[in-house]
């Protein structure tokens, strides 16, 4: 693309162009939330220019403070902003569907045929790539969102708080938001997002939804719409629960995963202990070792990491034989669908009902400054996640076990490919999967 092309605003995407993009993203969204957000930023802000960086970060900040998967909710928000309610529903659903079917298929293989060397080899290669993707995402988001030393310091304090002091993520988010609000009063220049009017145009070129693009009519706040959307979602939830009557296991899943959806502040790792306690200890849908294997599958399949709930639901339906011993596959898939539906339903409500309130604040510093502070804190949290991944990949048996030099070199090579050589994320994942497969047969 030439410099002249950069100065021309791209055409607004049609609904079907966006449909194809969200479907593609659903199949390619590896790397957990950090990798997915990085991929959306590269596609939607830098390459396609459907939304400016400032508007993108504003939507991201809102998704960060909500319970639920922030990357999927960001997709819902952008889809809704571009193509109304159906645009948001399509974006969020296509973000999940490929993961649901892929994870269900892999769980069936896991249960029916045991651990295959082919699958193990591919997963072993993807894990170092995931480490590199998350580190790269922390650098990428940090270099754009942390515009001054104060924001860098907030990111560093956030990292220390969650890594060394084990401070809960909601407490970090609250503290960062409060500091941002105070900062908007005492040091407003430190908490401005971007560089003012036209900032996004000078960096990537004008966007379809630019910094100064007026809020579309459907995204303006109306109390009647808020009430209607809330009532509609409550009706959908109640109808879904009614359909599960007579299936106690599925009904328990509906209730349990609804609760899980409302306490997932801080992403998947913050809620995993809750899912473990309920799925393993209380309902006994699966065993502890199975839960760990499910996390490995969730890390190496597209979609949000919290899609591990589909694995839990699949094994729960299978192990409880809810449709009898002759219909285990159907039982497992039903469990996966129920777990997925009730885990992700609240996210649509938060965005489609709450989005207009957020859109009304994207130019108001007293609202944007707390979100800027939260973004700074989240950079530190992402770095902590990268270390968490790295520990489990490079010391799979703990610090008492051997250090995996081969996978460490793969992670370094993958990071250099992303950072220095600007390689596509999926190309890096594919190459690492192939190397992991070859390595598994060579040792």
Q: What is d(CA 443, CA 435) in angstroms, rounded to the nearest whole number?
A: 12
Please, what is the Cα angle at 250 between 245 and 251, to 5 degrees? 50
The residues near 235 (Cβ < 8 Å, ≥ 6 apart) are none
| Residue that the structure tokens 């065993």 belong to | 287
Using a cut of 0.85, tell me whether the model's pTM lies above it.
no
Residue identified by tokens 């220019």 is: 49
The answer to whether residue 4 is domain-embedded is no
Domain contains 339 = yes
Radius of gyration of the chain (CA): 22
What H or E segment, with its residue span, contains residue 264?
none
In a domain, 64, yes or no: yes
Q: How many CA atoms lie within 13 A of 90 on its CB side?
A: 20
**Closest residue by Cα to residue 127 from 421, 408, 315:** 408
Within a domain: 406: yes
- Helix (H) or strand (E) holding 197, with range, is none
Closest to 383 in 3D by CA, of 170, 147, 192, 154: 154
- What is the residue whose two structure tokens read 């790269």? 136
Among 300, 342, 287, which residue's Cα sits nearest to residue 432?
300
Q: Is position 277 within any domain?
A: yes
Q: Is residue 213 part of a domain?
A: no
* Residue at 84 is within a domain: yes
DSSP codes of every residue in 246-288:
T-HHHHHHHHHHHHHHTT-TT-HHHHHHHHHIIIIIIS-SS-H
The answer to the question of residue 151 being in a domain is yes
Per-residue pLDDT tens, the chain, 443 aa: give them: 444 455 788 888 999 999 999 999 888 776 667 678 878 988 899 889 899 888 888 788 778 777 778 888 999 999 999 999 999 999 999 999 999 999 999 899 888 875 666 767 777 787 788 788 778 877 877 777 777 888 889 889 988 988 888 777 667 878 888 888 888 888 877 776 543 333 444 467 788 888 888 888 888 888 899 999 999 999 999 999 999 998 999 999 999 999 888 866 555 655 666 787 788 888 989 887 787 677 767 766 788 878 889 999 999 999 999 999 899 999 999 999 999 999 999 999 999 998 888 777 665 666 667 777 877 887 887 787 778 778 877 887 777 778 889 889 999 999 999 888 878 777 887 888 888 888 888 76
| Residue-number span of the structural domain to which 135 is assigned | 10-208+232-442
b/e per residue 170-184 (b: at least 16 CB within 10 A):
eebbbbbbebbbebb
Question: For residues 153, 156, 158 and 163, what is the CA-based torsion angle, rounded to 10 degrees?
Answer: -160
- The number of folded domains in the chain is 1
Alpha carbon 423 to its chain's center: 21
Give, as one character, the DSSP assignment of residue 196.
S
Burial of 154 (0-12, 13-18, 19+ CB in 10 A): buried
């Amino acid at each position: 693309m030439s410099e002249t092309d950069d100065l021309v605003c791209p055409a607004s995407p049609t609904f079907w162009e966006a449909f194809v993009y969200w479907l593609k993203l659903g199949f390619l969204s590896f790397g957990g939330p950090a990798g997915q957000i990085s991929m959306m930023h590269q596609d939607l802000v830098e390459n396609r220019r459907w939304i400016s960086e400032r508007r993108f970060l504003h939507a991201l900040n809102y998704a960060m403070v909500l319970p639920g998967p922030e990357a999927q909710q960001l997709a819902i928000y952008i889809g809704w902003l571009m193509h109304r309610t159906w645009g948001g529903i399509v974006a969020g659903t296509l973000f999940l569907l490929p993961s649901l079917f892929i994870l269900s298929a892999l769980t069936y293989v896991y249960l029916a045929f045991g651990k295959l060397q082919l699958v193990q080899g591919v997963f072993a290669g993807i894990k170092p790539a995931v480490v590199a993707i998350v580190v790269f995402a922390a650098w990428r988001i940090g270099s754009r969102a942390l515009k001054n030393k104060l924001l860098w310091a907030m990111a560093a304090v956030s990292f220390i708080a969650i890594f060394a002091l084990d401070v809960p993520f909601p407490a970090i988010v609250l503290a960062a938001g409060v500091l941002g609000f105070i900062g908007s009063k005492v040091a407003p220049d430190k908490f401005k997002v971007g560089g003012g009017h036209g900032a996004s145009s000078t960096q990537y070129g004008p966007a379809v939804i630019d910094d100064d693009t007026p809020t579309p009519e459907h995204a303006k706040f109306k109390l009647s719409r808020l009430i209607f959307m809330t009532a509609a979602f409550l009706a959908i939830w109640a109808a879904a629960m009614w359909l599960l009557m007579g299936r106690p296991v599925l009904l328990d899943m509906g209730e349990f995963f609804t609760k899980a959806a409302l306490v997932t502040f801080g992403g998947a790792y913050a809620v995993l202990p809750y899912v473990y306690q309920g799925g393993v200890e209380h309902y006994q849908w699966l065993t502890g070792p199975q839960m760990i294997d499910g996390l490995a599958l969730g890390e190496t399949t597209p979609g949000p990491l919290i899609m591990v709930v589909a694995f839990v639901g699949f094994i729960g339906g299978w192990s409880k034989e809810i449709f009898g011993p002759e219909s285990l596959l159907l039982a497992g898939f039903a469990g996966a669908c129920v777990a997925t539906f009730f885990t992700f339903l609240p996210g649509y409500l938060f965005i489609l009902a709450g989005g207009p309130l957020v859109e009304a604040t994207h130019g108001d510093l007293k609202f944007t400054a707390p979100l800027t502070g939260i973004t700074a804190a989240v950079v530190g949290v992402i770095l902590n996640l990268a270390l968490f991944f790295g520990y489990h990949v490079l010391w799979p048996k703990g610090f008492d076990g051997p250090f995996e030099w081969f996978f460490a070199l793969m992670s370094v090579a993958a990071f250099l490919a992303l950072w220095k050589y600007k390689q596509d994320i999926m190309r890096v994942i594919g190459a690492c999967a192939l190397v992991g497969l070859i390595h598994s047969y060579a040792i």
